Chain A
Amino acid sequence: AQTIHQWPVAEIKAVGSPLSLGCTIKGKSSPNLYWYWQATGGTLQQLFYSITVGQVESVVQLNLSASRPKDDQFILSTEKLLLSHSGFYLCAWGPQNTLYFGAGTRLSVL
């Protein structure tokens, strides 16, 4: 069975500080991977997707970047956090159109 693990579970960071969020998929080779962002009480906004190692496509410009250093790993990062980055970050993998989400990382930027 495939498992998806996100880390950390939660972060409290200062404006202007760097950020790195991670996601690992086990039990699935060459998965399509996605980063989503969800404002509190809001909808899910796709940020990035990757279909293979080293290739990442940006969907929305939010002063964030993503990388896929390994087949089973997806990293979301920024060098300078903004207040607007607060929210719930979700990693997902998917065959075709079915997305399976991780448990998410709650980010609070103060």
Chain B
Amino acid sequence: QQQVRQSPQSLTVWEGETAILNCSYENSAFDYFPWYQQFPGEGPALLISILSVSNKKEDGRFTIFFNKREKKLSLHIADSQPGDSATYFCAASPGANTGKLTFGHGTILRVHP
């Protein structure tokens, strides 16, 4: 059972465009949603996160939009840069359940110059 789903599997955008990565979940108990960025051959790094009490979280060019009713969230990367090319993982966990993160399968983002 895939509790966290991501779409699309891969995405290609031009430099300067906004990339939109989608995520949905099934478990109503999930209330913490981090996004991780992973470059080839490296470990994932926390990019931005949101709690379910919020519907939007912004950090520079990265914005999470969250819809609790529909159990959906999305990561928007504005003014995409070639250096943003990476795999992005959406994850979810129930409250302060330490380390109980469930990851999606990731979206491979390619930004063409």
Residues of A whose CB lies within 8 Å of any CB of B are 32, 34, 42-46, 49, 51, 90, 92, 94, 96-104, 106
Contact = CB atoms under 8 A, between A and B. Distances in A.
Given A34-B99, A43-B103, A99-B101, 11 more contacts: A42-B106, A43-B89, A43-B106, A44-B103, A46-B101, A96-B96, A97-B99, A98-B49, A100-B46, A101-B45, A106-B41
Interface in B11-33: 32
Most B CB contacts (10 A, CB to CB) among A32, A44, A92, A104 go to: A44
Contacts, number: 54
DSSP majority for the B interface? loop
DSSP majority for the A interface? strand
Interface residues of B, number: 21
A102 B105 CA distance: 19
